[in-house]
Structure 1
Amino acid sequence: MSVILYTKSGCHLCEGLQEKLSQVTAFPFVLELRDIQDCADWWQRYQYEVPVLYLRKSQAAPEYPVPRPSPRMSVDQLTRHLQKVIDQLPHSGAGTP
């Protein structure tokens, strides 16, 4: 399982979310950071939206968007927020969001 965080330098909301994600221990995942300044497509899509989260069950699986968590969420609330999205993912890893 991968949690993908689209971020950019100087984004304090991104830093706060990354910090909370690093404290989530209820299920195993790899945190993948994607700096939108590294890719023109990411910049175009997310320049006004970061932080943006996606989940991916495996390397071959599609990425599924995670509704934006509130910056006021605790680590426990963020864990429940992510678990709710995980529970809704297709079991096969196939399909589109």
Structure 2
Amino acid sequence: MNMAIAFAAVARPSSMVLLTRQRSIPRWVFTPLASSSFSSSTSSSTPSRKLVLYSKPGCCLCDGLKEKLQAAFLLSGPDSLHDVDLQIMDITSNPEWEMAYQYEIPVLAKVLSDGTEEILPRLSPRLGVELVQKKIAAALKQ
């Protein structure tokens, strides 16, 4: 599957970024975050569903999952993920994350309404994009 996806990145010492999709044109924008948690302020345009992906540079499994997530977020239909924010966290930027996830990455977690995270079951690298979308949508409904 050949897909053109545009990225915008802003250099910042922090390795935390927020991956969001622009509504008018299907593309992704990396936005540096000020902290490791999501902002508590809400607006009508802020997505209500949030995921965190713990990964690190050079991880081929992480890169593969990022590509599948990007494609899954572009799909429409009953399991659409258009209202989901994906925050990508580099575990090498935080010793606690590195200790917790160094042998587990990529780790995908959903952010609950109280701000805590629930780790989702590992997605097989062999899953197709449509199945990745369905599994994430189902996990977010729970």
Q: Fold match, TM over 0.5?
A: yes
Residues 1-97 of structure 1 correspond to what in structure 2 (within 5 A)? 1-25=49-73, 26-27=80-81, 28-58=83-113, 60-88=114-142
Aligned sequence identity (%): 37
Aligned residues: 87
Quote how far apart the aligned CAs of 1:8 are.
0.6
Mapped to 1, the partners of 2:95 and 2:112 lie a distance apart of 25
Could you say what secondary structure the match of 1:24 adopts?
Answer: helix
Structure with greater proportional helix content: 1
Mapped to 2, the partners of 1:18 and 1:53 lie a distance apart of 10
Q: Give the partner amino acid of 2:110.
A: L
- Extract structure 1 runs of 4+ deviating beyond 2 A: none
Q: Give the partner amino acid of 1:44.
A: M
Q: Give the partner amino acid of 1:74.
A: G
CA RMSD of aligned residues (A): 1.3
Structure 1 unmatched ranges of 5 or more: 89-97
Structure 2 unmatched ranges of 5 or more: 1-48, 74-79
